[in-house]
Amino acid sequence: MNIMRTGMLLAAMTGLFLAVGYLLGGNGGMVIAFVIAIGMNAFSYWNSDKMVLRMHSAEAVDGRSHPDYYRLVESLAQRADLPMPKVYIMHQDQPNAFATGRNPENAAVAATTGLLSSLSREELAGVVAHELAHIKNRDTLIMTVTATIAGAISMLANFAMFFGGGRDRDNSLGLIGTIAMVILAPMAAMLVQMAISRTREYAADRGGAEICGNPMWLAAALNKIAGRAAQIENHAAEANPATAHMFIINPLSGARMDNLFSTHPNTGNRIAALQQMAGEFGGPPAGNTVEDTSLEADGPWSRRRQTPRGPWG
């Protein structure tokens, strides 16, 4: 169902882009829009991961510099039957993480230092598994394409202000129609992009729970991250808001409600879905709270366990 919905939303985004091109220049404008879309997506396909990692000053790490974090990613990637992604850290106090890359063979997982210092090993496993699920589902490519098309729609709409829009001089949009397109087309693209992002987050939550083997680890992590992310500003994300949809929790100040203008589903709704999934796994009842089923609070990397050992040993 999520795959079908994502496909429909991508088709809507593409159709909107071509429609803007048609309104701007008729059949010729639609062809130009299509060519622009191909060019922008080709550039994004090969370079988006490097651009995003650079925007957030992400630093590559390995098994020597960050052995626990690196080995955890490695073990979960093996469990998910994925190639080992590149591993990065972002020197940022806000706990958060994202995945990027055009395909599983060229993927990267990035976590903030705030995330590594505030989560238990099990909670971190839930977060890493969520990001690996994005990679496995190829969401990183999907979201790159949607972000690129949304940007192109805004660009074409702005062109309309200079070229007047319309199919010809006798059948133009007119001033009011042009202004409406400049405002409404980017807004519609933003809504579709957000809808795709929210759909993929629910799918990655479920996939991540399956990879790490315990939905409540991710639920506990989401609960903790959401509370702390709201209190700590992510300056890099604020400077690059177009990347907000990539993070496991919205890194921007405000926009925490599950409405049309949020890039992420409501955290409580995500936790509830994971609790229900835990019941399906034969774990804690769906009615239990995150606090009832969360793991040790002794700090990151604690080895004391109240649940069976995870796949990493």
Percent of the chain with pLDDT over 90: 41
75: number of CA atoms within 13 Å, CB side?
19
Q: Which of 74, 131, 201, 280 is catalytic?
A: 131
Among 188, 200, 179, residue whose Cα is nearest residue 134:
200
Question: Tens of pLDDT along 155-212?
Answer: 766 666 665 544 444 444 555 666 666 666 667 766 776 777 778 899 999 999 999 9
Residue 159 pLDDT: 67
pLDDT at 39: 77
What pLDDT does residue 173 have?
54
Residue 131 bears catalytic tag: yes
> Mean pLDDT, the chain, as a whole number?
78
**Taking 60 as the threshold, does the pLDDT of residue 109 lie above it?**
yes
CA gyration radius for the chain? 21
Evaluate if residue 273 carries a pLDDT over 90.
yes
pLDDT of 62 above 90: yes
Domain boundaries, the chain: 2-293
User: What would the pLDDT profile of 71-100 be if each residue is shown by its tens digit?
Assistant: 999 999 999 999 999 999 999 999 999 999
Spatial separation of the C-alpha atoms in residues 231 and 120, rounded to whole Å: 20
Q: What is the pLDDT of residue 245?
A: 83
pLDDT of residue 181: 62
